[in-house]
Structure 1
């Protein structure tokens, strides 16, 4: 990869490790619905001017696009924002690292992946053990439900790429993302209005919402498309191994979030297991379609 490509990769790894910290700051003062509406509305306003010439092809695939928006943005972002009222941002980011493993299992079930070799099975086992450890560390301080919410988020992030791979291969990524953000904003708008804060949130909360929309949504997708074009989808989605570490580092260093031995062990197991489970060796059969080749393959959280 070129220096430019490595720069894009580093930028994306950092940018998509940041949302967990920003969401945690925002939900301290506004509802999860307001968080989802703010980031999707800002992202839609920024991206639509770049995408409007290609909206017709999105309309021709409207039902799969709607399903993708619900699975990739609406559902996960509501659950993620709600869970982060009780979970630390670092733990939330680490739990999301399990999404590529779920995507691999689902791809095998529906036939996108023809074979899972022995090394990848070991990776699956390690990742499941890591999630169990992370869940244990999270439930000690928050109860079971926020951890369950994060696992549902991972399920949404795992299913969405399969929908895109099967039904949206002919839809350009930029207009599809712009439309999905618009749909998510429209769906979340009534809930945001019903829970709108009575007084203006602090500058920290407002700034977090603006950064979520501009940096972690609109700019992130534009850079991710460029990274895919320059490095290819397989290398581009490798940021899924890095951004949980960024989320952990930011949470611990900037917010003083605790890191217990159980959480540290879980982090190592999830990241190592995910790497082994999603890497392709010479002994593995080629997939029917490449999993994770869409924008949903490495989600921002």
Structure 2
């Protein structure tokens, strides 16, 4: 990976490792629709002027179907589910469950005809180990009555695994900035009616407002710019590898800031999910007769 790739990787590891903490704080003071609306509306307000300065947006009309699908799978559906789940789950557990995204991405890519294949015993083993880790983490919560919250987070992981494939296959000719701005604007419009209906009667406290601002400006506006730059640099499958580090950031933030528990099961699940993800997404060794240049092909999946 290039130096630029590593810098983008480190930035995404941090930027999308802390949203779980901020969401946990924000849902204490506002409804889920208000949270998602503020996050998308402020993000769109920041990015739209920049996108308009780069050129007219009418060229995006011919891509409206994949744009709508991407917006639904990357923003509209998962951000609702994630925020709703964190009303019942700790931020650290949520971050760990999201770490299953690379495993799901490998399966989805394989089922939809991607060149990425589960063609070695090691990768199959990684898939199994990662799923065991998810089971270790989710089992106590399932017994405790939070089965729907666990399901919500796993659905979010599936959305996050699928959306980059749409971006790589159907939106590779669309510049990242206009695409992000349009998707956030669309999401904000979708959430406007439910946000109005559930708007708080009083101004939330400073802690909640700070969390909302961080989610909108850092974890949304800035994060998407870095995310698409990372996809262009290393490809969609490898771009999701930063989720290996996100759980560690989420756990540390939850323990230090919110005093969330750090149990043995969380540590075991983290090791299994992380190890399984690494194995499941590992590159197979080059075969005799030539080295397969998958990385080069992946780096060209999105152009701006």
* Residue pair 2:168, 2:301 contacting (<8 A) in 1 also: yes
Describe the shift of the 1:103–1:286 C-alpha distance in structure 2 as closer, same or farther (beyond 3 A): farther
For the aligned residue pairs, the C-alpha RMSD in angstroms reads 2.4
Residue number among 144, 151, 154 corresponding to 1:151 in the alignment: 154
Alignment correspondent of 2:105: 103
Please say if residues 102 and 240 of structure 2, whose CA atoms lie closer than 8 Å, have aligned partners that are also in contact: no
Query: In the alignment, does 2:229 pair up with 1:250?
Result: no
> For residue 210 of structure 1, what is the aligned residue in structure 2?
213
- The separation in 2 between residues aligned to 1:40 and 1:292, in whole angstroms, is 28
Structure 1 partner of 2:244 = 241
Q: Is structure 2 residue 186 aligned with structure 1 residue 187?
A: no
Distance 1:36 1:256 in 2: 25
Residues 195-227 of structure 1: CA distance to partner in whole angstroms, max 9, x if unpaired?
Answer: 111111111111101110000011112233444
Cα distance between partner residues in 2 of 1:225 and 1:63: 19
Q: Out of 217-226 and 81-90, give the one that drifted further.
A: 217-226
Q: Find out whether 1:50 has 2:50 as its counterpart.
A: yes
The aligned residue for residue 222 of structure 1 is 225
Unaligned runs of 5+ in 2: none
Cα distance between partner residues in 2 of 1:56 and 1:281: 42
CA 1:291–1:269: 2 relative to 1, 3 Å: farther
Q: Is the 8 A contact 1:112 1:287 kept in 2?
A: no
Which residue in 2 is equivalent to 1:20? 20
Please identify, of 215-224 and 241-250, the stretch whose mean Cα deviation from structure 2 is larger. Answer: 215-224
Between 211-220 and 130-139, report the one with greater CA deviation: 130-139
Q: Deviations for 1:148-169, whole angstroms, at most 9, x for unmatched residues?
A: 1101111111221222233212
Cα distance in 2 between the residues matched to 1:85 and 1:144 = 13
C-alpha change, 1:199 and 1:114, in structure 2 (3 Å) is: closer
Any stretches of 5+ residues in structure 1 without a counterpart? 296-301
Give the number of equivalent residue pairs: 294
- Give the match for residue 91 of structure 2: 89
> Secondary structure, in 3 states, of the residue corresponding to 1:100?
helix
Distance 2:41 2:175 in 1: 20
Q: Deviations over 1:33-69 (max 9, x none)?
A: 1111011111111111121215223221001100110
Contact 2:234 2:298 in 1 (8 A): no
How far is 1:77 from its partner? Answer: 0.1
Aligned CA distance change for structure 1 residues 238 and 158 (closer, same or farther; 3 Å): closer
Equivalence for 1:299: none
Return the alpha-carbon distance in structure 2 between the equivalents of residues 20 and 205 of structure 1. Answer: 13
Could you tell me how far 1:3 is from its partner in structure 2? 5.9
Contact kept? 2:106, 2:116, Cα under 8 Å: no
- Does the aligned pair in 2 maintain the 1:25–1:208 contact within 8 Å? yes
SS class of match (1:60): helix
Is this contact kept in 2: 1:86–1:142, CA < 8 A? Answer: no
Instruction: Please report the TM-score for the alignment, with normalisation by the length of structure 2.
Output: 0.89
State the partner residue of 2:121. Answer: 118
Q: How does 1:271-286 map to 2 (within 5 A)?
A: 271-283=274-286
Indicate the larger mover: 33-42 or 9-18.
Answer: 9-18
Which residue does 1:35 correspond to in 2?
35
Cα distance change of structure 1 residues 225 and 163 upon mapping to structure 2, 3 Å threshold:
closer
Alpha carbons of 1:279 and 1:103: their partners in 2 closer, same or farther (altered >3 Å)?
A: same
